[in-house]
């Protein structure tokens, strides 16, 4: 009976996971193709000779507000489901307005829909947390990012090559599918929807870690805003290519990060992605505006965007276990993404309107890369102290338990650690709290702190993360030697 009960619970969990991915992917395909700098909206505006700049600016600002404020409005899983079921029909109705000639209702439709769309994205955090096991959220995030962009491609192709209204009609069908799927989402507020215990030991402030992550997201996504305003318009004459290829490098990058063809350290891939962004803007300056140049520039830029989007989506997903309201944390984190795009777009537009040299936005983009490079190490240390075994963060955890023990013994012998200090160091590397270490070794928490102080002093370090880095570096040297 117990076995069957676990199997039924697992089946229900998988059903919820699949449904939540389907719902959010269908909804996001409409949002990406239409609402958020979408090709459908651009094509409709071009058909009527409109400049959509003001409407797009208002929409992105409203999306940012929805993401940021959702946590104050949606506080339960049941309320999140209710939001989906009310918003998706509204989005269909608001989209239908664009079959009519331009009017003030276009602006109102974009702004109100954008605010509600931001709320829906943030509210999906409830299902992101409840449907996916802890430390396995990167896979769910990757599925959503991949399928959202895969479904967006035919919408863009239809809008550009057939008719903007055909693309719009197809996007509305996506919304209808999202609504019908959302009807089957479980509305219950189970135990998982409540607050989760925070990590002990050397506690890291969730607010502080989230703030540093948001700063990182904000800075790096300024480049995305520059891309929309500077790079994309320069290749607009290759519509037949850009309509379908634009998202391909992004999809491939996310897929490879989820299912690497070879063993990789995903933390190092963050630095590779930074280099890709820099080379993308450099290539934009020195190459012509041919189709081949577009393939080079877009592949580098969108590939990097895929790596980073999966990074912060998955990190935010793991953070949901440390908060009471997942809509708040998820919304705040992704609002930094939207704000970065907004600021980058404003900067790019100002540079373009001033008719300055094309090198200026590139220098700005490279400056952003340098700032991001400086933010990565402290961000990594801060997140490592909060999240355990995250795929982008874990290095020591990738080493086998036997190898971990051997490395710690070698380190203890070299640095003169006592047997008890070696035991404490091993448990620190397993990210156990001071209380857990004390219980396992039958000593008090204060005694654990005493040993930790001695360990750090002998090794010349100041934190658990530096200890992990030291042992990981030892492992890297050993593997190179072999």
CATH number, residue 184: 1.20.1250.20
What DSSP letter does each residue of 427-475 carry, written as one string? HHHTT--HHHHHHHHT--HHHHHHHHHHHHHHHT--SHHHHHHHHHHHH
108 and 162 housed in the same domain: yes
7 and 76 housed in the same domain: yes
Q: Specify the DSSP element, H or E, that contains 94.
A: helix 77-96
Span 274-330, pLDDT tens digits: 889 888 888 888 889 999 999 999 999 999 999 999 999 988 998 888 888 999 999
CB 202 within 8 A of CB 321: no
In this structure, the number of other CB atoms found within 10 A of the CB of residue 99 comes to: 12
CB 219 within 8 A of CB 371: yes
Domain boundary among 129, 158, 189: 189
For position 144, what pLDDT does the model report?
Answer: 96
CB 80 within 8 A of CB 74: yes
Helices (H), 102-163: 104-123, 125-131, 137-157
Q: How many CA atoms lie within 13 A of 115 on its CB side?
A: 10
For position 388, what pLDDT does the model report?
Answer: 56
Radius of gyration of the chain (CA): 24
| Crossing angle for the helix pair 77-96 and 2-30, to the nearest 10 degrees | 30
313 and 446 housed in the same domain: no
Domain boundary among 370, 388, 406: 388
Q: What is the number of domains present in the chain?
A: 3
306 and 404 housed in the same domain: no
Span 383-428, pLDDT tens digits: 766 665 565 555 555 555 566 666 666 666 666 788 888 888 888 7
Span 217-227, pLDDT tens digits: 988 888 887 77
Span 254-266, pLDDT tens digits: 999 888 766 666 7
- Phi-psi group of 37: left, alpha or beta (phi > 0 → left; psi -120 to 50 → alpha; rest → beta): left
For position 296, what pLDDT does the model report?
Answer: 94
Query: Residue 199: inside a domain, yes or no?
Result: no
| SS3 (DSSP) at 392 | coil
Could you tell me the CATH number of the domain that includes residue 470?
A: 1.10.10.10
pLDDT at 358 over 60: no
For position 411, what pLDDT does the model report?
Answer: 66
- Sorted by sequence, the CB contacts under 8 Å of residue 112 that are 6+ apart come out as 62, 90, 94
Query: Residue 196: inside a domain, yes or no?
Result: no
Domain boundary among 189, 213, 242: 189
Q: What are phi and psi of 194, to 5 degrees?
A: -85, -175
280 and 253 housed in the same domain: yes
CB 155 within 8 A of CB 170: yes
For residue 163, the 8-state DSSP code is -
| Least-confidence region, from 240-244, 360-364, 451-455 | 360-364
Nearest-angstrom CA–CA distance, 393 and 379? 10
Closest to 221 measured CA to CA, from 340, 87, 302, 329: 340
293 and 254 housed in the same domain: yes
400 and 379 housed in the same domain: no
State the pLDDT confidence band at 198, using cuts at 50, 70 and 90.
very low
State the residue range of the domain holding 409.
396-481
368 and 405 housed in the same domain: no
153 and 89 housed in the same domain: yes
10 and 72 housed in the same domain: yes
Query: Residue 198: inside a domain, yes or no?
Result: no
Could you tell me the CATH number of the domain that includes residue 222?
A: 1.20.1250
For position 37, what pLDDT does the model report?
Answer: 78
Global pTM? 0.77
| SS3 (DSSP) at 329 | helix
């Amino acid at each position: 009976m117990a076995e069957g009960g676990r199997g039924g619970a697992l089946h229900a969990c998988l059903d919820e996971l699949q449904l939540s991915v389907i719902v959010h992917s269908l909804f996001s395909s409409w949002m990406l193709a239409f609402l958020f700098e979408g090709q459908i909206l651009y094509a409709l505006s071009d058909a009527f000779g409109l400049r959509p700049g003001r409407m797009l600016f208002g929409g992105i600002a409203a999306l940012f507000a929805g993401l940021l404020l959702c946590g104050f409005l949606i506080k339960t899983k049941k309320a999140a489901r209710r939001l989906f079921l009310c918003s998706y029909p509204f989005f269909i109705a608001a989209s239908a307005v664009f079959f009519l000639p331009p009017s003030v209702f276009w602006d109102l439709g974009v702004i109100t829909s954008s605010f509600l769309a931001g709320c829906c994205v943030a509210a999906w955090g409830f299902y992101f947390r409840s449907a996916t096991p802890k430390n396995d959220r990167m896979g769910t995030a990757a599925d959503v990012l991949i399928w959202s962009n895969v479904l967006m491609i035919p919408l863009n192709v239809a809008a550009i090559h057939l008719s903007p209204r055909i693309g719009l009609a197809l996007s509305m069908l996506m919304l209808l599918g999202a609504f019908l799927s959302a009807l089957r989402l479980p509305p219950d507020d189970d135990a998982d929807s409540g607050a989760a215990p925070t990590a002990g030991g050397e506690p890291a402030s969730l607010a502080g870690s989230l703030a540093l992550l948001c700063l990182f997201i904000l800075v790096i996504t300024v480049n995305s805003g520059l891309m929309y305003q500077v790079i994309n318009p320069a290749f607009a004459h290759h519509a037949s290519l850009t309509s379908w290829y634009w998202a391909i490098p992004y999809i491939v990058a996310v897929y490879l990060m989820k299912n690497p063809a070879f063993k990789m350290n995903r933390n190092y891939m963050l630095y590779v992605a930074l280099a890709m962004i820099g080379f993308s803007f450099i290539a934009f300056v020195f190459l012509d505006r041919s189709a081949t140049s577009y393939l080079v520039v877009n592949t580098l830029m969108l590939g990097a965007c895929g790596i980073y989007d999966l990074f912060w989506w998955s990190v935010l997903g793991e953070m949901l276990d440390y908060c009471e309201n997942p809509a708040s944390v998820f919304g705040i984190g992704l609002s930094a993404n939207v704000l970065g795009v907004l600021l980058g777009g404003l900067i790019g537009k100002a540079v373009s309107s001033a008719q300055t040299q094309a090198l200026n936005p590139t220098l700005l983009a490279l400056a952003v890369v340098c700032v991001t490079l400086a933010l990565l190490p402290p961000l990594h240390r801060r997140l490592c102290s909060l999240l355990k075994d995250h795929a982008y963060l874990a290095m020591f955890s990738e080493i086998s338990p036997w190898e971990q023990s051997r490395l710690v013994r070698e380190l203890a012998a070299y640095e003169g650690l006592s047997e008890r200090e070696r035991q404490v160091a091993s448990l620190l590397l397993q990210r156990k709290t001071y209380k857990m270490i004390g219980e396992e070794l039958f000593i008090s928490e204060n005694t654990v702190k005493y040993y930790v102080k001695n360990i750090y002093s002998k090794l010349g370090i100041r934190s658990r993360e530096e200890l992990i880095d030291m042992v990981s570096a030892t492992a890297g040297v050993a593997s190179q030697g072999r």
